[in-house]
Amino acid sequence: MSHPGDAMADLPVPRIVGLTLAQAAFFTVLGLSMWLWTGREMPEFVTFGPPEIGLGLLIAGGMIALGYVLFRAFPRFGEKLVRDQVRQFAFLKNPMPAPAIVLIAAGAGIGEEALFRGGLLTLLDYYGPFPVALMVSSGVFTVIHFAKPAVATMIFAIGVFFGLTYWASGSLLAVMIGHWVYDIWALWFIQKEMHRLGVFDEASDLLAKLPEITGEKR
């Protein structure tokens, strides 16, 4: 079955960054439209201040620390998570330079939080109970990542965490920064581990053998 990540596997880095930022812009406009639909004012969509920046960095620091501990404490499970994301992160086949990782992470952090927390969660909460809004928005957030079950479970948990943080703090900027900084670490770490484990070579070998395998079954 085709995976959306397959189309980006061999694209040049500037193209990948450009597509990511274009998607972020689209997500942000869509999220803002949902926000405005509920009767809120545009300047309130994202507010800026030192406490919000500090909270965002605190969120990122906690998530990075937790992720690092989990990968080190359960290496086999961590390796499985890395292997399960080989198609989702096919664009990391050719190692990304640090500036590209920062920009891609920014696109995900800003665009996805604008859409799923600032937009969809706010809209659903406006029309129904918050717990339902939280579960549905986190579920949609999970589905668009096209992840395998173990990874999808973690993405859903992260979506719930970001949703609760946004609801409690009222700061979209905080969850954007938290998501952005965490993704910088996650992309760097996953890229390093995928190349260390040779998962892209394994995937290429499997694809090369696929016609032979399917031919034997006929």
Residue 132, in any domain of the structure: yes
Residue 188, in any domain of the structure: yes
Residue 192, in any domain of the structure: yes
Task: Give the model's pLDDT for residue 204.
Answer: 57
pTM, full prediction:
0.89
Residue 71, in any domain of the structure: yes
Residue 30, in any domain of the structure: no
- Whether the Cβ atoms of residue 166 and residue 117 lie closer than 8 Å to each other: yes
State how many domains the chain has.
Answer: 1
Residue 53, in any domain of the structure: no
Residue 24, in any domain of the structure: no
Average pLDDT, the chain: 90
Each residue's pLDDT, cut to its tens digit, for the chain (218 residues) gives 455 666 677 789 999 999 999 999 999 999 999 999 999 999 999 999 999 999 999 999 999 999 999 999 999 998 999 999 888 898 898 889 999 999 999 999 999 999 999 999 999 999 999 999 999 999 999 999 988 999 999 999 999 999 999 999 999 999 999 999 999 999 999 999 999 888 887 655 544 444 454 455 54
pLDDT digits (tens, 9 = 90+) for 113-159: 999 999 999 999 999 999 999 999 999 999 999 889 999 999 999 99
Residue 76, in any domain of the structure: yes
Domain of residue 162 covers 65-197
pLDDT digits (tens, 9 = 90+) for 157-174: 999 999 999 999 999 999
